[in-house]
Structure 1
Amino acid sequence: MGLKGRGFASLRLRLIFYLLLPVSLLLVGLGVAGFFYARGYLMEGLRQTSLLGLQRAAHSIDMRLAQPGEAVDLLNSLEGLSQATIGDWEKHLAGLPGVARVKLDWLGEAQESQRPMMGGRGGWLDRGMHRVALSRVTNPRFDTSSGQQTVSLVFDLQDQEKKPAGRLEVAVRFAYLLEGLKVFEQWKGERSFLVDSTGRVLAQGGGSRHLERLGAEGDPFEVQVLEALLTKPAGTLVGPGRPAEEVAGFYRLQKAPWTLVLFARGDKVLGPIRSFMRHYIVAGAAAVALVVLIILVVTGKVAGAVRTVCQAARRVARGDYVEVPTPKSRDEFRRLADSFNTMVEGLKQKDYLRDTFSRYVDPQVARRLMSRPEATALGGDKRLVAIMMTDVRGFTPLAERLSPEQTITIINRYLSVLIEVISAGQGIIVDFLGDSLLAFFDSLENGPRRAAEQAVCCALELRRATEDFNQQMRSEGLPDLATGIGLHAGEVVVGNIGSFTRTKYGIVGGPVNLTNRIQAQAEGGEIIASQAVVELIGPELKVTRGFEALLKGVEGQVQLYALLDLPSCQPQGQE
């Protein structure tokens, strides 16, 4: 394989490395972050769901435990406890759901007053109870009279003097209370317990191994749960392991000193997550393989496009401005080809402009112009510039006396002097009109005042150079040339004028025509400037005379000045 082949292969390797590395890291990072987030979210959801289920189950048991107490309070508030109502009380309480038996025991004075109670009205019981309060709820125990486990709800009775009068015991079937756990779905499927305040197991769910007491077998997590339920009414705990093997929740009943406890397995949460991770890894591997395949296909196309552009670039570097073929597709390769071809057209245009500028402009000025983006495009900007126009006075009669060869020789030699002076003075020559010349001095870099000063200094230097030229002409037996110079400053459009096939960098606008009219007012060897030029430079500019003139195409008199000198000007070659 050659160098080119190895180069393209390295491009593929770089693309594979720089694309696959972040993609792989992203996939791994998302997978790990998603795993931990989902695990934490689901574990928290399991804790909250378990706690909510425990709360509902505890509330259901509390409601069943509260029924006898609510009935006792209602009976006491409606008719009180008397000889006439004892039977009603016992009958009503015994008829409540889950009640196995009802027993009333009297204490002290109440016991002695049973005889009057039996004899008729006016006895102690006729006065009613001042207060009937639930004092305790016993743990489940076997009731021989009913033949099943019951829970006793013991109510303390107080007389009107708030003295203990008796004790009412309502035995409720424990199985009836446990029916409230039907709302608790985890009771049959998870490790679940109903324990008393010491951790003794009163009942346990279908998924639980038999325990006498929480932590009796030395399970550290059960001991931790027991310690927590002794200090808090409700809560959740996460067991050991990462991830946790178990999550526990507990909720204390309000009507009895009992607590519902649930142990849920952590793998119920992690099972779906692990299944997702397996599918995620398979999908990630498939995505990586697909990326590699796409890179191998695309880089072949990229290599071909790069090879074509490289070959064309080498030819452009040699000066052969060739264009690359434009692909039919509308993707980046099409834009690359269009951009390259646009660059080639720009280079062609710049070469043309550079050649054009170099004929009329000092090379340093040409380089500054070429450095501006607007110099290579048609169109321009409107700004204030200083304009100069020169014309040789009486040249037409002079040309009639000379041969064509002499005429061309003289005018070319003289224009060469003008071009040299204007280029050295930072001027930009726009056009030659026979023996006339149009140039301007741009204000883009140094401002309008400096542009006007450059124009005046250049005009003064042209007058001096013309005198030197005439001395040389006289030594050769040729006639003198008398040049009139006009100066003006105004806003014009500066830019490339023409088409892509023929362009010149120049100025357009009314001030150009006005400069031509001002130049016509100058005698041979005279420099005439407008009021705008004089105002830009100020009193430093010395003039020989000021006058008003009527100019063609201009309304009213125009103030003009014949220039003498500008002390700040330095002769060219001494700057």
Structure 2
Amino acid sequence: MTIIPKSLQQRLSFFVLLPVTVLLLGMGLTGFLYARNKLLDQWSEAIMLRLQHAAHEVDMRLDMPKMWLDLFHQIADKSNTTDIQDAIIAQLKGIYGVTRVQLKRSENPGNQTGLAQHSDEAMPHRFQSPPHHAMRMAQGGHDHQGIAVEISPTRFDTNQADQTISLITEIKDNKQQIICTVEVEMRLEYLVETLKTYGWWQTYKAFLVDSKGRILAATTSGSQHELGETGDPVELETLDAIKEKPLGIVFGSRHHTYEVSGFYRLQEAPWVLVMIAPSSEVLAPINTFRTYYLISGLTFILFIVLLIRSVTGRTVAAIKDVSRAAEKLAGGDFGQDLPVKSRDEVGELTASFNAMAHQLEERMRLKESLYLAMEVQQNLLPQQSIKFCGLDIAGKSLYCDDTGGDYYDFLQFPEMGRNRIGIAVGDVTGHGISAALLMATVRALLRSRITQPGTLSRIVSDVNRQLSMDTSLSGNFMTLFVMVLDCNTTEIQWVRAGHDATLIYNPLSDSFRELTGSGMALGVDDSWDYQEYKDAFCAGKEIILIGTDGIWEAENPQGERFGKDRLRQVIRRNHQSASGEIIEAVLSAVSDFRQKTTQADDITLVVVKS
């Protein structure tokens, strides 16, 4: 299932806060692991130095008796050295930690060497232990033929409670026959007693073990004799590591580290110093570092996340304010300006919204004004078709904007005479408010002038002169076609002021004719004298159509114009219909022809039919 954040807050949380949090956590974890490993390396080095120092202490205590034994070897094959041998034995006995020195000569009477025939004392029963437990080592860098030094494993003195260790040297002849044996017995307590004085050694659990893991000495009392016999995983892993390398650090369980051990092999004996400590103590600095690191790291991450959340929250809040204000604005509630709280893009958005709201409010007011102007303009046009002396007269205007410049009017005034009616159709350049104002001006001028005496041409000339005073600077003008129908004489009088010719259709002969004539548009030349034209009208037989160029200049998506031929075909097909129905048929045909193309010009149409 795919999770798709919907709100801006969710998107910011998912695409900003979450990645930043993961990145910071990853960087923090990487830094912690690096620092922890460095601390572990430093701790390992410190432990190794301590173990090395402790091993050196043990090596130094073992080196002293071995040095005297080495001297004993050097004079073993010389004559008259009995006094020197006795002196060496005495020096060995005087070493602190040596409990006994035993010299045993061979009972072979054929043995004739420079060795003194002196026995210090009889060897006790414990020297009857099997010799295969002894381990041999090269002594002090000297290589005397037939001489070797042996260090026995740990043996308990039956007469003492302390553990002891014996250094045994055997002197052999050329036939590898033992001439004599020297044994130096030392207390193990003596070897490790200095280690117990160190505070760090007293805190941890430490052992002195041989290569097989047998415990020679320990800083803790107990009945444990071998490393790992209790099943402790740390001791077992340490025992395995001792067999592979001379020194190292062993951590406990790979998943839950409870203990840590370190070991170091002695130089003077085949023994290993082993230290085992609880991880809580050994890793205390690391654990403390981890605690402070996690607390500070999480605090820092939380601070960063909260900071980002605060900043994005203010941004989201500002956008929500704009959204709510937009909803109110859509309902017509403009309200007060939103406060601009920042200078960033959100602040610019808020300021732009306030400016848009003001402009929209102005546009709404203007639209209301336009709507009012449209109502006024529509009221200036005839509201319905009329019946006059058996004539059916209808007209209609369709504006491409709220207001337009097309104009038509039915003029019925007593001053015009009995059974006479005037029809005017005009088209102002452009459309919109300016065209509507000019149309209203022409309507007022024409209505006021037509009630005064004078011919139709004189009336139009006077209207042109008055209008030119207002349009001389603006350059606007208006085409106009004005005609007067006299039902008494069936005569038509008309003046054409730059307007398209009027069509007259005779259904009986299926023919069209036009009411033409010369004339300039109103408002262009104030001195122009318009001509009046006359023609007969066959009442009951002909259809008169006066329109504006918005009809035949309408274009379809291909750029083709509607044209007057299509207009004639519509009139021919609908000649039996009422004048209002003919108008609707023409408008419908124009709309179908235009298809989805927007109406580009105003359309006005007047039809007169008997």
TM-score (normalizing by structure 1): 0.44
Which structure would you say has the larger Rg?
A: 2
